[in-house]
Structure 1
Amino acid sequence: MDWSSLVGLALALLGIVLGQAVEGGHLSSLLQPAAFLVVVFGTLGAVLLQSRMHHVMEGVRLLRWVFVPPVDNRRAMLRRIAMWSNIARREGILQLEPQLELEQDAFARKGLRLLIDGAPPERMREICNLELDQYEARMRSAARIWEAAGGYAPTVGILGAVLGLIHVMENLSDPALLGSGIAVAFVATIYGVGLANLVFLPCFNKLKMLIQVDVSQREMVVEALAAIANYEHPRQLEERLQGYLQ
């Protein structure tokens, strides 16, 4: 569990609630179903119009990474790579076959299979990098739905504000209805700007960072397996791969 994400979201919401209370306002004035519907459904519609459905679904699934991020296994992977390199140098590449059965990471297992099968280093890089590029593109496209939502939400909030003001203008002769219309107008703007800057954009930036860590681990695997195929000294390889841990 990433407690910083939970604490950050809680502080952001608490700041709005406390600010409203300090100004003498009531929490109920921030709860406007009409404004919520306009902002949330309007933003969702714009994102769906821009993106493919499978990207949207993948982006929603990725959201759990913000609060339960994947484990950073780069150090553990580096230790396994060092072991593979030593086995290959001392006993030969074919002796890595038992390690293939033990490896849990699907990408690393595929690379090991290519190495054991005797694929040339450049051919191995080509195959693995092609899969890695496709994976990275898919993950980044999924994460960008939150960036898109952060871009559309403030504008949809302004649209909600305009709708609220139209409602006010239509009921100028009935003062009892003016308050609710003005409330919807301003609260819609709060929803749009607040969701964009306190939820959608921070989630996108967090996902972008986590995806980069995941991709970095896979790049490290590609670089290592190609080096093992070239019989690079294990110590030199380990020192070179330390750069991926920065």
Structure 2
Amino acid sequence: MADSRPGRRLDKSSFAGLVIALAGIVGGFLIEGGKAEQMVGLSAALIVFGGCAGAVMVANPLPLIASALRRLNDVLFETTSDTAEMIDQVVNYAVMARKNGLVSLENEAMSAKDPYLRKSLLLAVDGADLDEIRSMMQLESDVAESRAEQEAKVFESAGGFAPTIGIIGAVLGLIIVMGQIDDMNKVGHGIAAAFVATIYGVGSANLVLLPAAHKIKARAAHERERQEMILAGVCGIVEGLNPKLIRTKLEAFAKAPGAPERKAAKG
């Protein structure tokens, strides 16, 4: 039987989006006569990124921050799952159960590669009723989605802190500049350098941190839909529904907006 376990591949949209955004901003700056070195400031980077990291640590527990950093995989990589194969697999289970009973699925359940499918099938084989299966598996989905939401909020909080700390960096730079008011050449250069911190703060928030939070939430919603499809199939098996009806129900999930990816059928 085909392996319908979700895989991982590089998320081209994340990398392409960041490159396009940076190219547009930096390109526009250079076209207007700016110089690349004017956008580089070690002290500004230290103030913004160091200050932002500290603020995030104050606002969030360390274990949550650590899990949020691991969740960055959902931004850099996307899950590849063949919905057509998953539907075929569940329908095959339905055919087996109709012929030989739910107990005949025990070996299939144990060897299922997808953790959610394996757990829901094992509950069915063990004799859990429909309400118990739905309750337990929906609870698992709720917990996973809630965890992703909390991890996304870490990046949202960082995206809120970064612009403000960028302004703090700019003000600190202006304080230093005002101490050199007698030398107008230094004043002009200092003011320009001071605003680099603002660029770092606003840029990191709107190009990296907030988009990362949105992508994490989108990935969690996508996974929730995939799990709901699996649960509907397993519940259909327990109810003894006709395999053709189960296929129709699962294909309705596959056609929904934002549904798990469905590869083209091989001809």
Match of 1:14 in 2: 23
1: distance between equivalents of 2:222 and 2:242?
A: 26
Equivalent of residue 53 in structure 1, options 46, 52, 62: 62
1: distance between equivalents of 2:216 and 2:67?
A: 12
Q: Larger % of helix: which? A: 1
In the alignment, does 2:163 pair up with 1:160? no
Q: How far apart are residue 75 of structure 1 and its match? A: 3.4
1: distance between equivalents of 2:217 and 2:84?
A: 20
Query: Which amino acid in structure 2 is aligned with residue 64 of structure 1?
Result: N
Q: How far apart are residue 22 of structure 1 and its match? A: 0.9
Q: Which moved more, 1:19-28 or 1:42-51?
A: 42-51
2: distance between equivalents of 1:13 and 1:155?
A: 21
Equivalent of residue 120 in structure 2, options 97, 105, 111: 111
1: distance between equivalents of 2:82 and 2:180?
A: 61
1:28-39 alignment runs, 5 A limit: 28-39=37-48
Q: How far apart are residue 130 of structure 1 and its match? A: 1.6
Q: How far apart are residue 176 of structure 1 and its match? A: 5.7
CA contact (8 A) 1:220 1:241 kept: yes
Q: Which moved more, 1:235-244 or 1:106-115?
A: 235-244
SS of structure 2 residue aligned to 1:70 = strand
1:83-94 alignment runs, 5 A limit: 83-94=92-103
SS of structure 1 residue aligned to 2:195 = helix
Change (3 A) 1:54 1:73: farther
In the alignment, does 2:195 pair up with 1:189? no
2: distance between equivalents of 1:24 and 1:34?
A: 24
SS of structure 1 residue aligned to 2:78 = coil
2: distance between equivalents of 1:47 and 1:35?
A: 18
In the alignment, does 2:238 pair up with 1:229? yes
In the alignment, does 2:21 pair up with 1:23? no
Query: Which amino acid in structure 2 is aligned with residue 23 of structure 1?
Result: E
Cα root mean square deviation, aligned = 1.8
CA contact (8 A) 2:110 2:122 kept: no
Q: How far apart are residue 45 of structure 1 and its match? A: 1.8
- Structure 2 stretches lacking a partner, 5+ long: 1-9, 257-267
2: distance between equivalents of 1:94 and 1:240?
A: 23
Match of 2:216 in 1: 207
CA contact (8 A) 1:34 1:184 kept: no
What is the aligned-residue identity percentage? Answer: 37
Q: Which moved more, 1:166-175 or 1:59-68?
A: 166-175
CA contact (8 A) 1:122 1:226 kept: no
Query: Which amino acid in structure 1 is aligned with residue 220 of structure 2?
Result: I
2: distance between equivalents of 1:72 and 1:152?
A: 36
Deviations, residues 110-162 of structure 1 (Å, cap 9, x unaligned) = 11111001111101111112222111111221122222222221111111111
Q: Which moved more, 1:210-219 or 1:164-173?
A: 164-173
Match of 1:243 in 2: 252
Deviations, residues 5-51 of structure 1 (Å, cap 9, x unaligned) = 22211111112221221111110110011111111122222222222
Change (3 A) 1:143 1:150: same
Equivalent of residue 228 in structure 2, options 196, 213, 219: 219
2: distance between equivalents of 1:28 and 1:111?
A: 57
SS of structure 2 residue aligned to 1:172 = coil
1: distance between equivalents of 2:193 and 2:157?
A: 24
State the TM-score, normalizing by the size of structure 1: 0.92
2: distance between equivalents of 1:72 and 1:9?
A: 25
Deviations, residues 192-226 of structure 1 (Å, cap 9, x unaligned) = 11111111122222221111111211122222222
2: distance between equivalents of 1:200 and 1:73?
A: 30
- Structure 1 stretches lacking a partner, 5+ long: none
Deviations, residues 156-180 of structure 1 (Å, cap 9, x unaligned) = 1111111111111223234464345
